[in-house]
């Protein structure tokens, strides 16, 4: 059974660009190998994470992610079976971080590309709807000038 899982968390206060790139590199490799699709948005110290994949694989991944000390306040908001995935691959978006050479990071998309990817997103699932709401809220309300 394929499920979608929506998770939010706060980055630890002193998170470094190296730690953020490590999260992206590890996630891209593991998620691609395990047929896990979705998107992780990092913005102003907050993570919003939407995962799609085989139930067992997604739950096993979540049980590792929840104990990762690079973030706190991890909340599993929605876990639902879905008939069809929305994302065709694994992606991660964040504003340019000067210390990270995003061009070398597979799966990285800019906030502009993230907006393009999500603006036409089909909202027929609860998790996708909530993902869009939360991501747009932190990008436009709390966000600094993009």
Ligand X SMILES: Cc1cc2nc3c(=O)[nH]c(=O)nc-3n(C[C@H](O)[C@H](O)[C@H](O)COP(=O)(O)O)c2cc1C
Q: Catalog residues that contact ligand X under the rule CB under 6 A.
A: 9, 23, 26-27, 30-31, 40, 47, 49, 61, 64-65, 68, 70-71
Q: Return the number of the residue (9 or 118) whose C-beta is nearest ligand X.
A: 9
Cβ proximity to ligand X, 26 vs 140, nearer residue: 26
How far is CA 78 from its chain centroid?
14
Instruction: Report the phi/psi class of residue 107: left, alpha or beta, with left for phi > 0 and alpha for psi in -120 to 50.
Output: left
Q: Which residue sits closest to ligand X, CB atoms considered?
A: 30
Strands 71-81 and 2-11: antiparallel
* Shortest distance (Å) from residue 38 CB to ligand X: 7
| CA dihedral of 25, 27, 29, 31, whole degrees rounded to 10 | -160
Could you give the angle at which helices 111-119 and 126-137 cross, rounded to 10 degrees?
140
Q: How far is the CB of 89 from ligand X (least distance, A)?
A: 12
CB of 136 to ligand X, least distance (A): 19
Nearer to ligand X, 33 or 145 (CB): 33
Q: How far is the CB of 64 from ligand X (least distance, A)?
A: 4
Which is closer to ligand X, CB of 43 or CB of 118? Answer: 43
Distance CA 105, CA 113 (A): 15
């Amino acid at each position: 059974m394929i499920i979608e899982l929506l998770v939010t968390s706060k980055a630890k206060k002193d998170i470094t660009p190296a730690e953020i790139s490590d999260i992206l590199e590890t996630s891209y490799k593991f998620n691609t190998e395990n047929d896990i699709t979705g998107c992780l948005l990092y913005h102003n110290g907050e993570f919003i994470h939407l995962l799609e994949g085989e139930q067992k694989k997604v739950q096993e991944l979540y049980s590792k992610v929840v104990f990762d000390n690079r973030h706190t306040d991890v909340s599993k908001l929605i876990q639902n079976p879905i008939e069809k995935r929305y994302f065709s691959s694994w992606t991660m978006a964040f504003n340019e971080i000067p210390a990270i050479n995003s061009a070398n990071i597979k799966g990285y998309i800019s906030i502009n590309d993230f907006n393009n990817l999500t603006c036409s997103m089909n909202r027929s699932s609860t998790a996708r709807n909530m993902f869009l709401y939360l991501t747009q809220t932190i990008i436009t309300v709390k966000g600094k000038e993009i």
